[in-house]
Amino acid sequence: MIVVTGAAGFIASCLVTRLNAANFNDIVVVDNFNEERKLANLKGKHLREYVDREGFFEWLDANHEQVEFIFHLGARTDTTEQNRDVLNVLNLDYSKKMWQACVRYQLPLVYASSAATYGSGTLGYSDEDALLPLLRPLNPYGDSKNDFDNWAVSQPEKPFFWAGLKFFNVYGPNEYHKGRMASVILHAYRQILDTGSMTLFRSHNPEYADGEQQRDFVYVKDVVDVCYFLMHNRQHSGIYNLGTGEARTFLDLTLNTFAALDRTADIRFRDTPEDIRDTYQYFTQADMSKLRSIGYTQPFTRLEDGISDYVRNYLVPGQYL
């Protein structure tokens, strides 16, 4: 039995598909299932049981002997959330309870961290433990993730295997419900269909031209492949970056979205909203050497190929993964 939290969400629902494809069908999905807009992500999947997140630990106390692995991907992922109490409850405290349960029952754990922990990136993007206490995220969401990473590595008692994954800019199918927090590719797709053009944030940093802001964009299919790898390779616990190792510009992303739709590019710019302008990251790029060092050898999908697959095989026909 495999437990996946946040299961109706973007990355976790894609992970369930990946597990089903490998004939893992005894899957317990954990989430707040009251959000109707997310439930389509789980339609047609092979599942054992739905468990509400509020009752999960009681369920685990009764069923832990049957559980083989836990993927804790559930979190409040809104980077504009300013209510630290909400973030502490859902991202920090809940994750601590999950960790302690995995210690108690000796269950392997993979959990979701975030590249938001790196803040402005002035200290680089190394996932070595020594950097963790020095990081200064730019928003409360990043703080909640960094606080848990620091707490986890300092614990005297740990699950016999655990891994925290610092997701960079993940894109791909099953993010239809994410609203403002969806990938720029989904926003571009919708804008292009509606208006024929795409509007990007103008640069407010003299070191970057408009549209030349860079991110490490990673396809969700690659993300779940890494999760699957870690489920079968439990020798090296720790925190790992999960990007591609190659930063690309928002212009690259947008031009490839136009190309996938066979449309002529029409790109415009507007000021970055003031509520995120001071905390906006202009460059992220994962150092992937640590994950590679433990034997992960699969190549990561090129941005051009990922966007083409996402747009043509999922967005245009309205399909889920």
Q: What amino acid positions are annotated as catalytic residues?
A: 141, 178
Q: Look at the chain and count its residues.
A: 321
* CA distances, 195 to each of 24, 198, 234, 251 (Å): 43, 8, 48, 18
Q: At residue 31, what are phi and psi to the nearest 5 degrees?
A: -175, 180
Which residue ranges make up the annotated binding site for NADP(+)? 10-11, 31-32, 38, 53, 73-77, 145, 170, 178
What is the C-alpha R_g of the chain? 19
CA distance 220 to 259: 20
CA distance 287 to 244: 8
Question: 2 and 19 in contact (C-beta within 8 Å)?
Answer: yes
Question: 267 and 211 in contact (C-beta within 8 Å)?
Answer: yes
Which residue ranges make up the annotated binding site? 10-11, 31-32, 38, 53, 73-77, 145, 169-170, 178, 180, 187, 201-204, 215, 280
